[in-house]
Amino acid sequence: METSTVSPFLDQLLADRPVDSARGWLGRLRGQALEQAHGAGVPTVRDEDWRFTDLSPLYKLAFRAPAVVPEPTPDAIRPHRVAEAAVRMVFVDGRHSPALSSAVDVLPAGLKVERLGDVDGEWLRSRLGAVAAFTDDAFVAINTAHLQDGAVVVVDRDVAIDAPVHLLFVSTQPDAAAHPRVLVVAEPSSDVTVIEEHMALHDGAYCVNAVTEVIAEANARVRHVKLQRDGKAGFHLATSAARVERDARFHSHDIAIGGRISRQNLRVALAGEGSECHLDGLALIDGRQLADTHSFVDHAVPHGISRQRHKCVVGGGAHAVFNGRVLVRSGAQQTDSAQQSRNLLLSERARVDAKPQLEIFADDVKCAHGATVGQLELEEVFYLRSRGLDDLAARNLLTYAFAAEIVDAIGVKSVVERLRAHVMARTGAQETLR
């Protein structure tokens, strides 16, 4: 990797680690990750995995963990509340905010939502970093080197939690770097929905480097909703990684709306027979935004099912990247995998690079993938015009509908409504449907 031009950025980011007082395994984990981060450097467009996503604007800047973290008023985050949530945990510039978080003593039975530091060390040791290994990715290594604060969500065996857990990450100041960490463990036959939301209260440049790990144990159901609504000058680098065990099911809803440059890595290991993942993605960007999603579904055992729908709506001079890799290992017979990448370009300058990547080493599988890039379907526009709507209204409505299909599947009513309103405003459909 090319490290020389970027080392000031990296050095600053790594030098700025909190003083490491941790003893034992956590201290060692951070130390190893730090070593890895220094050794590997950060990626450039010369790396195949980063061909289309040029982070040089990021590397020109220096970010610090802020010395002082102001506490936003409850009013500032009120619009981001999720009415249905069982619990809300808020992090401000990477640090937990008890004042903005909801009380944790009223949680439903069988659900634990705790700060990383409050969780039993031995329990954590075998789980933290088990799904998102710091050796896999430079930014995961940087995140792991900074491990300090974060959220741990645990659902007990056989417990189904209807109300979602809301984790809200707020940026309050320019030049700040935050390294959020989330661990979700769903014990056998449990069911939980976790909403991870990122947003900013300012328009300056800042850097979020997030890592989320999900362990869906046997027959569990986990729904992970990621709302990336970072500020327009923000940088969002993230890895969400899930291990899906026997007969378990993982649903992922990745919505990328904000950020100047965002990169979402999504890694799903279908590790147990009969496990399933359903990955929905939507990037809705314009102006000079870049949104990159790299997904990797690893079918390691027989009878796995994966379904992926990724959509990009790209306006202005924005650039969307989708790389969807599906690996079917030789032992993963009876795999059933389908991937669909659909991309809508709203302007001449808008650009998308979409690449499905199917690697099959088993001989008895059902795999399908497809990618489309283009404008709205002529037939669909004509349908609406034949009902009296003018061309612009028809196009706005269909652009909205294109995105709404992914939004509607999220399944948390207030989140769906909030996103629908946002998508409506962004696509001009609001004017039409007033």
Partner 1 sequence: MSTDRPLLDVKGLTASVAGKTILKGIDFVVRPGEVHAIMGPNGSGKSTFSKVLAGHPAYEVTAGSATFDGEDLFALEPEMRARAGLFLSFQYPVEVPGVANAQFLRLTYNTVQGARGRDELDPLEFDDFVREKMKLLEMNPMFLDRSVNEGFSGGEKKRNEILQMALLEPKLAFLDETDSGLDIDALRIVAGGVNALRTSDNAIVLVTHYQRLLNYIVPDFVHVMDGGRIVKTGGKELALELESRGYDWIAKAA
Summarize as ranges the residues that interact with partner 1 (CB under 8 A): 378-391, 393-394, 397-398, 400-405, 407-408, 420, 423, 429, 432-433
- Select 361 or 382, whichever has its Cβ closest to partner 1: 382
Least Å distance between CB 407 and partner 1?
Answer: 7
- Select 236 or 342, whichever has its Cβ closest to partner 1: 342
> Do 304 and 276 contact (CB within 8 A), yes or no?
yes
> Do 109 and 177 contact (CB within 8 A), yes or no?
no
> Do 178 and 90 contact (CB within 8 A), yes or no?
no
Angstrom distances, CA of residue 191 to CA of 162, 283, 338, 409: 8, 27, 24, 17
User: What is d(CA 324, CA 308) in angstroms, rounded to the nearest whole number?
Assistant: 9
Q: What is the DSSP string of 40-99?
A: H----TTSGGGTT---HHHHTS--B--SS-----HHHHGGG--TT-SEEEEEETTEE-TT
Least Å distance between CB 343 and partner 1?
Answer: 17
Strand, coil or helix: 420: helix
- Select 51 or 385, whichever has its Cβ closest to partner 1: 385
Least Å distance between CB 370 and partner 1?
Answer: 18
Least Å distance between CB 374 and partner 1?
Answer: 15
Least Å distance between CB 391 and partner 1?
Answer: 7
- Select 78 or 387, whichever has its Cβ closest to partner 1: 387
Q: In 3D, which of 123, 118, 115 has the Cα closest to residue 95?
A: 115
Let me know the angle formed at the C-alpha of 422 by 417 and 426, rounded to the nearest 5 degrees.
145
- Select 149 or 380, whichever has its Cβ closest to partner 1: 380
Least Å distance between CB 256 and partner 1?
Answer: 18
Least Å distance between CB 24 and partner 1?
Answer: 50
User: What is d(CA 54, CA 238) in angstroms, rounded to the nearest whole number?
Assistant: 15
User: What is d(CA 55, CA 44) in angstroms, rounded to the nearest whole number?
Assistant: 7
Least Å distance between CB 373 and partner 1?
Answer: 20
Q: Return the number of other C-beta atoms located less than 10 Å from residue 27's C-beta.
A: 13
